[in-house]
Amino acid sequence: MAKHICGVGGEEFASEQEYVDHVCTRTNLKATHPFHAMGPDFEEIQRGAVQRGKDRVEREKAEKPHGKPNA
């Protein structure tokens, strides 16, 4: 069975779920905590991703042709 290793603390797990649920011995944070995963710049990274998503949704809305009712 494939092993899962926490790249920060080095702990080993038999499953991905065990990795996701663990509290890292080095950061004292869960693997799902954004600081653990993305470091001190996590807010900037998240903000950028959300902004790109928002910009794309707005761009797609603007490009959508207006629907016309059937005659």
Partner 1 sequence: MAATVEIDEANGAGQTLTHNISNTNMGNTDAANLDPVANPITPGNRSFVKYQKIHVTAMGGSSKIDNLKVWRTGALGGAATHVTNARTASYGGAITYATPTTSAVTGVDQAMPTAEPGSANVGISGSLSGSLTGTGSSDYIAHQIVTNAADTAGSTSTMNYQYDETA
Q: Give the binding site for partner 1 (CB under 8 A).
A: 1-8, 16, 19-20, 31-34, 36-38, 45-47, 49-50, 52-54, 56-57
- The residue (of 14 and 69) whose beta carbon lies closer to partner 1 is 14
Tokens representing residue 9 in the block: 């603390």
CB of 66: closest distance to partner 1 in angstroms?
Answer: 23
CB of 69: closest distance to partner 1 in angstroms?
Answer: 29
Q: What angle do CA 29, 49, 62 make, to 5 degrees?
A: 155
CB of 5: closest distance to partner 1 in angstroms?
Answer: 5
Q: CB-side exposure of 20: number of CA atoms within 13 Å?
A: 3
Helix (H/G/I), strand (E/B), else coil: 23: strand
- The residue (of 1 and 71) whose beta carbon lies closer to partner 1 is 1
DSSP 41: G
